[in-house]
């Protein structure tokens, strides 16, 4: 074998070792962005590096992506993380480009790879990445309309946690309790008195069972809500996928029930199914007619005592009198009516639109629906609902 032929494998082995040193950092970035990366994926990555020429950055990029990404939604997070650790694929190692938009949000509080000549495990202050805020704090107040693909992927785990908060109610059934309940448990008290010569010294009680109250989510997917609809639909999917007593609807010029479409666990597949079921996506808005359909067609499915959450900017092309009438009808059968309007986040916002002005008197809570902070406020209200 010639000297030139032996130099290539040696170079590839040195490059493979350098990539392995940064592999844990890459895995940390992916986990921070919501990608599932465990010991099995890291072991597969090490085997992949032995099977490719690790001195070629494009080969490393494609090889690691094949074993670290399990679905297409992981690709934007992986692209940003790979660029943050190794630079853009195809770029020269000596000319490291700036991070792409949103990449700084998946860079956790870890040390950058030490420069040449630095001692292992001894990183100076100048070699630390800035970490003034965590990923959650950066995204908490940011408007959904300004989100990047990386941020949308990051927000999924946060939205899933927020969607676990459900309104509760007291069921008619009761259960035995150690504390003083709503009524005495006579049978249990008599049985306990047999230990004390039939003297009722140990009084027993029963309390109402706490159960989930039905939650109905109605999201506006008209053209004016396009910057917010996808993130809000992620909230609808998370609620439907984690609870049984949740109904989901979307509307533009007509109302469409999407509970079944959003019932699958994969969020990308669920949103694709929901968008395929809706024929008036990004079109006009007729809120009054949609609420009328909700009341008359789906009234039995909703039942009485539900918590209704409407996510809309209130821009309506229909009759405001019809909207006011249908909202009053909805309010009489619901336990609470909550309206989330992304426009409310503006400091100078006033509900002057005809649709919003007609609906507002029949709502119990009026919130902004433009950020994770507003969804957290909604979760707090739902949790306190009895």
Helix (H, G, I), strand (E, B) or coil at 35: coil
The whole-model pTM stands at 0.62
Extended beta strands in the chain, E state: 168-177, 183-184, 205-212, 215-220, 246-251, 255-257, 306-311, 334-340, 365-367
Which region holds residue 90: left if phi is over 0, alpha if psi is between -120 and 50, else beta? Answer: left
* 8 Å CB contact between 215 and 277: no
Rounded CA-CA distance 141/33 in Å is 18
Helix (H, G, I), strand (E, B) or coil at 175: strand
DSSP state, residue 347: T
Q: State residue 367's pLDDT score.
A: 94
Query: Beta 246-251 vs 183-184: how paired, if at all?
Result: unpaired
* 8 Å CB contact between 108 and 185: no
pLDDT in tens, the chain (386 residues): 344 344 446 666 666 777 777 888 888 888 877 788 887 788 888 888 888 887 788 888 888 898 899 888 888 888 888 887 877 665 444 444 444 444 444 433 333 344 444 443 343 444 333 333 345 567 888 999 998 877 887 788 889 889 988 888 767 777 777 777 667 877 887 888 888 877 777 778 787 677 788 999 999 999 999 999 989 999 999 999 888 899 999 999 999 999 999 998 888 888 889 989 998 888 889 999 999 999 999 988 888 889 999 999 999 888 999 999 999 999 999 999 999 999 999 989 988 888 899 999 999 999 999 999 999 999 999 988 76
Return the sign of the alpha-carbon dihedral for residues 182, 183, 187, 191.
positive
Within 10 A of 95 (CB to CB), how many other CB atoms are there? 8
Q: State residue 261's pLDDT score.
A: 93
Rounded CA-CA distance 65/52 in Å is 13
Q: State residue 287's pLDDT score.
A: 94
DSSP state, residue 317: -
* 8 Å CB contact between 220 and 285: yes
* 8 Å CB contact between 111 and 120: no
């Amino acid at each position: 074998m010639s000297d030139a032929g032996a130099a290539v494998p040696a170079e590839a082995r040195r490059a493979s070792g350098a990539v392995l040193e940064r592999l844990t950092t890459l895995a940390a970035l992916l986990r921070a962005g919501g990608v599932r990366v465990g010991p099995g994926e890291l072991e597969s990555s090490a085997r992949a590096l032995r099977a490719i020429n690790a001195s070629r950055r494009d080969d490393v990029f494609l090889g690691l992506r094949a074993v670290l990404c399990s679905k297409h939604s992981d690709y934007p997070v992986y692209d940003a993380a790979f660029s943050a650790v190794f630079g853009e694929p195809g770029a020269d190692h000596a000319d490291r480009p700036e991070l792409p938009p949103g990449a700084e949000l998946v860079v956790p509080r870890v040390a950058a790879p030490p420069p040449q000549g630095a001692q292992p495990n001894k990183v100076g202050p100048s070699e630390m990445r800035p970490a003034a805020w965590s990923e959650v704090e950066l995204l908490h107040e940011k408007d959904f309309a300004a989100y990047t693909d990386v941020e949308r992927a990051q927000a999924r785990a946060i939205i899933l946690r927020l969607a676990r908060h459900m309104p509760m109610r007291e069921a008619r059934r009761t259960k035995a309790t150690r504390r003083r309940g709503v009524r005495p448990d006579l049978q249990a008290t008599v049985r306990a008195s047999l230990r004390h010569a039939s003297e009722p010294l140990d009084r027993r009680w029963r309390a109402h069972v706490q159960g989930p109250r039905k939650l109905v989510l109605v999201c506006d997917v008209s053209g004016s809500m396009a910057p917010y609809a996808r993130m809000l639909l992620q909230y609808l999917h998370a609620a439907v996928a984690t609870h049984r007593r949740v109904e989901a609807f979307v509307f533009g010029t007509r109302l469409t029930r999407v509970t079944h479409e959003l019932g699958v666990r994969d969020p990308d597949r669920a949103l694709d199914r929901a968008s395929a079921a809706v024929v008036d996506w990004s079109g006009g808005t007729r809120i009054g007619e949609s609420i009328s359909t909700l009341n008359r067609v789906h009234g039995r499915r909703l039942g009485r005592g539900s918590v209704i959450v409407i996510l809309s900017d209130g821009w309506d092309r229909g009759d405001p009198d019809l909207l006011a009438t249908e909202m009053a009808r909805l309010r009489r059968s619901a336990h609470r009516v909550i309206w989330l309007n992304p426009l409310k986040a503006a400091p100078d916002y006033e509900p002057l639109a005809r649709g919003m002005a007609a609906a507002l008197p029949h709502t119990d809570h009026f919130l902004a629906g433009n950020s994770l902070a507003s969804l957290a406020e909604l979760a707090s209200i739902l949790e306190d609902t009895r």
